[in-house]
């Protein structure tokens, strides 16, 4: 019984019920005003009769505009919801007000011509709704997004509209982003305990009964959308396709999700903006920016110098001595072997196999680093990984919770979604290997193990270069 009550209460939509009750009360008041208008008209008081009749019509119109569309959107049937998903325009508001004025005049004067005008004006609204629905019917949308997206760069996406009908073309339609719903407060029933008096450290409760309580839960905001602008298609012939390229710019890294697209039109009379919601979901992972920044220009020469010094200190192992080829450099000629054999000989080394570099991102705990410093450190890590990936270096990565291996784009995706989190430092898990390490950390200098200083270049997130 308790679970049934809990599920029933959780399924109620409070705002919908409030609007429904307000609509019923409003229509009841409009009906009462209409009865009073008739009574005063029969008694000969025309001024009061006109006032009550006007009030009844205006109140009924306000209820119809503010409540009926909202309740219609709550209908489960998809087709019915698509037909009634519309917004009224400024032209439509003016048109309805004019219709109400003519309707009041028709009721007060009893002129049949005015009734015909009102009927024609209302019929135009119905025709507009049917025509807009037919205009958007049997239209399919295809969204083509780029595979790799970086923050701070403009990318192009393509929208393709396919008209599946053979007789009716598409007139004056736009692809829009669906409306973002505001973060709502949800009330949830949960199990609790009734205590009297309230239990404290000094006293215990006399009565403890199982109970249920209503808890206020703040729903998480939705992820940011991919598309924000309107893409207009003036005309697409029947049975054909139309396309448009859209410039998209992401100013920050992260996950961007588009839960559905809207296909809207004002065709034919611009009284209503009819919108058909297309259940098409798209997701984009935006990598951190890899543009050259001041931080990169400052640390890159020092990292390169330290790396080359580390490589020279370890020396190069001779792989073999072979015959000289035209593409070989003269500085690799082995003159002793050349003098003994009488032909040019060159030396080959194992240098390419030894150029191993590991980029380490030591993700700090929440609050350990300023948010601005943190974002700059993430961008610098991505820029360094992107730079050294094209330098004939065997590159690998290490970070807290990262298991993507040496693939560059997997590491960039990890950096795109990373947030500060609690846990042990990745530095404590590093082992001294043949790799040279570039470590970005918020750890104090005194907390770095001594054996890592010889094989690593450390960039501290709280350093002045991030200020």
- In CATH, what number is assigned to the domain containing residue 161? 2.60.40.10
Beta strands in 120-271 (DSSP E): 139-144, 149-150, 154-163, 170-176, 185-196, 207-218, 231-236, 241-249, 254-265
Q: What is the model's pLDDT at position 413?
A: 92
Residue 232 covered by a domain:
yes
- Domain hosting 424: range is 294-316+355-466
Q: Does residue 191 sit in the same domain as residue 253?
A: no
Helix 371-389 and helix 294-314, axial crossing angle in degrees, nearest 10 = 50
Q: Does residue 231 sit in the same domain as residue 213?
A: no
Edge-first strand order for the sheet with 356-361 is 394-399, 356-361, 436-441, 456-460
Q: What is the model's pLDDT at position 337?
A: 82
CATH code where residue 460 lies: 3.40.50
Name the residue among 172, 87, 371 with its Cα closest to residue 252. Answer: 371
Section 29-43 average pLDDT: 81
Residue 105 covered by a domain:
yes
Q: Radius of gyration (Cα) for the chain, nearest Å?
A: 36
Q: Reply yes or no on whether the pLDDT at 206 is more than 60.
A: yes
Q: Does residue 170 sit in the same domain as residue 303?
A: no
Q: Does residue 161 sit in the same domain as residue 26?
A: no
Residue 330 covered by a domain:
no
Q: Does residue 309 sit in the same domain as residue 210?
A: no
Q: Does residue 368 sit in the same domain as residue 442?
A: yes
Nearby residues of 373 by Cβ (< 8 Å), 6 or more positions away:
461, 462, 466, 467
The pLDDT tens digits for 429-456 are: 887 777 888 888 888 887 788 878 878 8
The C-alpha atoms of residue 465 and residue 467 are separated, in whole angstroms, by: 6
Residue 323 covered by a domain:
no
Domain count along the chain: 4
Last-in-domain residue among 195, 218, 241: 218
Q: Does residue 208 sit in the same domain as residue 234?
A: no
Helix, strand, or coil (residue 229): coil
Q: Does residue 440 sit in the same domain as residue 459?
A: yes
Q: Bridge-partner residues for 138, per DSSP?
A: none
How would you class 296 by CB atoms within 10 Å of its CB: exposed for 0-12, middle for 13-18, buried for 19 or more? middle
Q: Does residue 206 sit in the same domain as residue 301?
A: no
Structure tokens at 341: 């054999």
Least confident of 99-103, 105-109, 171-175: 105-109
Q: Does residue 81 sit in the same domain as residue 155?
A: no
Q: Does residue 236 sit in the same domain as residue 93?
A: no
Q: Does residue 75 sit in the same domain as residue 172?
A: no
Residue 349 covered by a domain:
no
Residue 7 covered by a domain:
yes
Q: State the maximum Cα–Cα separation within the chain, in Å, rounded to a whole number.
A: 133
Q: Reply yes or no on whether the pLDDT at 93 is more than 80.
A: yes
């Amino acid at each position: 019984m308790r679970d049934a009550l809990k599920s029933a209460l959780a399924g109620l939509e409070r705002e919908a019920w409030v609007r429904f009750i307000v609509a019923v009360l409003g229509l009841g008041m409009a009906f009462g005003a209409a009865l009073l208008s008739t009574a005063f008209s029969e008694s000969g008081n025309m001024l009061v009769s006109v006032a009550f009749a006007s009030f009844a019509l205006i109140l009924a119109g306000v209820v119809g505009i503010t409540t009926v569309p909202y309740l219609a959107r709550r209908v489960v049937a998809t087709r019915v919801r698509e037909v009634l998903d519309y917004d009224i325009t400024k032209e439509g508001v003016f048109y309805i007000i004019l219709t109400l004025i003519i309707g009041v005049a028709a009721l007060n004067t009893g002129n049949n011509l005015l009734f015909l005008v009102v009927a024609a004006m209302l019929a135009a609204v119905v025709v507009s709704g049917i025509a807009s629905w037919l205009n958007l019917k049997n239209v399919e949308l295809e969204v083509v997004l780029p595979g790799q997206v970086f923050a701070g760069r403009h990318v192009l996406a393509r929208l393709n509209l396919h008209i599946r009908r053979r007789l009716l073309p598409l007139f004056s339609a736009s692809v829009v982003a669906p409306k973002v719903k505001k973060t709502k407060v949800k009330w949830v029933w949960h199990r609790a305990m009734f205590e009297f008096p309230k239990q404290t450290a000094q006293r215990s409760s006399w009565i403890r009964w199982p109970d249920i309580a209503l808890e206020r839960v703040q729903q998480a905001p939705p992820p940011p959308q991919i598309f924000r602008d309107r893409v207009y298609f003036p005309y697409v012939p029947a049975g054909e396709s139309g396309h448009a390229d859209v410039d998209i710019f992401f100013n920050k890294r992260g996950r961007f999700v588009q839960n559905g697209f809207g296909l809207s039109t004002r065709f034919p009379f611009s009284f209503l903006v009819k919108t058909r919601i297309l259940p098409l979901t798209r997701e984009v992972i935006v990598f951190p920016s890899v543009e050259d920044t001041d931080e990169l220009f400052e640390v890159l020469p020092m990292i390169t110098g330290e790396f080359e010094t580390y490589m020279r200190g370890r020396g190069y192992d001779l792989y073999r001595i072979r015959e000289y080829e035209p593409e070989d450099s003269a500085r690799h000629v082995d003159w002793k072997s050349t003098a003994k054999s009488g032909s040019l000989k060159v030396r080959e080394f194992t240098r390419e196999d030894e150029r191993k570099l590991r980029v380490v991102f030591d993700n700090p705990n929440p609050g350990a680093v300023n948010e601005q410093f943190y974002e700059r450190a993430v961008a610098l890590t991505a820029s360094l990984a992107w730079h050294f990936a094209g330098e004939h270096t065997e590159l690998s990565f290490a970070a807290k919770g990262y298991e993507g291996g040496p693939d560059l784009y997997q590491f960039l995706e990890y950096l795109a979604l990373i947030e500060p989190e609690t846990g042990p430092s990745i530095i404590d898990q590093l082992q001294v290997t043949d790799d040279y390490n570039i470590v970005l950390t918020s750890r104090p200098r005194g907390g770095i193990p001594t054996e890592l200083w010889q094989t690593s270049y450390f960039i501290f997130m709280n350093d002045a270069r991030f200020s």
